[in-house]
């Protein structure tokens, strides 16, 4: 007999969604988190966009789980009264070259089952967003924004209501395979070591999910996480009223990011970003670089011409858990039960960068289907 049936490591939005889903059907479910509460890392440092699922390679988990997750998330928000806004987004072409990309984006979206995109000409763009300059645009009506904190709070409440247990302030420092499952060692809030056993382990540790993977003895250079920082600036009032939906440039090569875009938030704020910078070492560097203001200003001014340099202020930064090395083609989410590596009952959820928030509820169902007890 093990102490726990299922242990989930990491209480970001993905770990919480998994915990909620699994605690509906299993008893003795533990969610372990090193911080004193949920969502202290990537899940609180992102654009809070509910993505439509437009850009990702056909058939990839990113494409499938985003499209499925988007619908689940809108329904969940309505059911639990979590603040959201299905505001839509424009993908804008500001040059002739970019018009060709618009067509390619529409085609990719259709391949992913996103068939609601509408091509807009200059006049139609002006009607929707009079402050935006674009020669052509795609309107994505199913894109939106969500209050991530409220979402995570609800997932936490439901997990506890289902009988799941959440242990905060406890860092997983060791994992050993045993006959019936795994022995997990924690360093608790009082800096004391504590061990328990679990039949199934789900690694949803975000930026350090590769370290959890390695603690078991598994090795795979292709699953090394590289910290990839994204910084944001915000628009100072009154320029925060220039747009009423999200505005993205056409996507950049290899989808390392979706380009410096403009997102509204539920509090009436407007953010520019994130940019894409691979950090040289995996350090939690959340500083915003004031000297980047000009780059943000220049790239946004292309489609928001009334913008002035002083309208921007440094805002915040987040870090993507990338398994895609710089310059490499886009990598998919890695979500696997590891029996084939000799680790029965160990499920890795690694490389959950964007659209991880949008996909979280779909990832939870996908992971649940991998459990064999």
Ligand X SMILES: Cc1cc2nc3c(=O)[nH]c(=O)nc-3n(C[C@H](O)[C@H](O)[C@H](O)COP(=O)(O)OP(=O)(O)OC[C@H]3O[C@@H](n4cnc5c(N)ncnc54)[C@H](O)[C@@H]3O)c2cc1C
**Does the protein bind ligand X through residue 51 (CB under 6 A)?**
yes
Q: Which of 2, 7, 23, 47 binds ligand X (CB under 6 A)?
A: 47
Of the two residues 110 and 288, which places its CB atom closer to ligand X in the complex? 288
Q: How far is the CB of 296 from ligand X (least distance, A)?
A: 14
CA–CA distances in Å: residue 111 to residues 58, 97, 185: 6, 22, 45
Contact between residue 155 and residue 17 where contact means Cβ atoms under 8 Å apart: yes
- Of the ranges 26-34, 113-121, 234-242, 279-287, which one interacts with ligand X (CB under 6 A)? 26-34
What's the CA gap between 259 and 328, in Å, rounded? 17
Longest dimension (CA), the chain: 68
Q: Please give the DSSP secondary-structure letter assigned to residue 117.
A: -
In angstroms, the CA 170 to CA 194 distance is: 9
The answer to whether residue 159 forms part of the interface with ligand X (CB under 6 A) is no
- Binding-site member from 206, 249, 345, 351 for ligand X (CB under 6 A): 206
Site for ligand X in 256-275 (CB under 6 A): 274
Beta-carbon contacts of 35 under 8 Å, excluding residues fewer than 6 positions away, are 11, 41, 168, 169
Question: Considering the rule CB under 6 A, would residue 88 count as an interface residue with ligand X?
Answer: no
Q: What's the sign of the alpha-carbon dihedral 174, 369, 322, 37?
A: negative
320 binds ligand X (CB under 6 A): yes
**Of these, 8, 14, 102, 235, which contacts ligand X (CB under 6 A)?**
14
208 binds ligand X (CB under 6 A): yes
Nearest to 358 by CA among 48, 97, 24: 48
User: Residues 22, 65, 184, 207: which binds ligand X (CB under 6 A)?
Assistant: 207
Question: Least distance (Å) from ligand X to the CB of residue 4?
Answer: 14
User: 91 with 136: CB under 8 angstroms?
Assistant: no
Within residues 216-255, the interface with ligand X by CB under 6 A covers 230
348 lies in the binding site for ligand X (CB under 6 A): no
- Binding site residues, ligand X, CB under 6 A: 9-15, 32-35, 39-43, 45-49, 51, 171-172, 204-208, 212, 230, 274, 318-320, 352-358
């Amino acid at each position: 007999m093990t102490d726990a049936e299922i242990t989930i490591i990491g209480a970001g939005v993905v770990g919480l969604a998994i915990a909620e889903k699994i605690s509906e059907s299993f008893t003795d479910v533990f969610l372990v988190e090193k911080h004193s509460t949920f969502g202290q890392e990537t899940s609180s440092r992102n654009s809070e966009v509910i993505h439509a699922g437009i850009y990702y390679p056909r058939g990839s988990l990113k494409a499938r789980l985003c499209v499925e997750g988007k619908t689940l998330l809108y329904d969940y928000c309505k059911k639990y009264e979590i603040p959201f806004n299905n505001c839509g987004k424009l993908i804008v072409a500001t040059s002739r070259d970019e018009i060709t990309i618009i067509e390619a984006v529409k085609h990719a979206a259709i391949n992913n089952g996103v068939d609601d995109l509408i091509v807009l000409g200059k006049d139609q763009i002006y009607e929707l967003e009079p402050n935006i300059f674009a020669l052509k645009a795609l309107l994505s009506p199913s894109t939106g924004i969500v209050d991530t904190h409220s979402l995570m709070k609800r997932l936490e409440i439901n997990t506890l209501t289902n009988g799941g247990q959440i242990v905060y302030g406890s860092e997983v420092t060791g994992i050993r395979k045993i006959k019936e499952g795994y022995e997990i060692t924690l360093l608790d809030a009082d800096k004391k070591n504590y061990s328990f056993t679990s039949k199934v382990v789900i690694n949803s540790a975000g930026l350090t999910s590769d370290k959890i993977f390695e603690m078991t003895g598994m090795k795979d250079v292709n699953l090394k996480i590289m910290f990839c920082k994204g910084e944001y600036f915000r628009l100072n009032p009154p320029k925060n009223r220039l747009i009423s939906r999200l505005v993205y440039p056409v996507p950049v090569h290899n989808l390392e990011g979706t380009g410096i875009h403009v997102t509204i938030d539920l509090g009436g704020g407007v953010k520019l970003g994130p940019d894409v910078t691979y950090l040289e070492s995996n350090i939690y560097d959340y500083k915003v670089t004031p000297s980047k203001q000009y780059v943000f200003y220049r790239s946004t001014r292309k489609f928001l011409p009334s913008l002035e340099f002083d309208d921007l202020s440094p805002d915040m930064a987040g870090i993507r858990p990338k398994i895609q090395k710089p310059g490499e083609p886009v990598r998919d989410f890695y979500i696997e039960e590891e029996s084939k590596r000799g680790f029965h009952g160990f499920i890795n959820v690694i490389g959950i960068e964007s659209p991880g928030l949008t996909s979280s509820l779909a990832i939870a169902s996908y992971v649940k289907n991998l459990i064999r007890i």
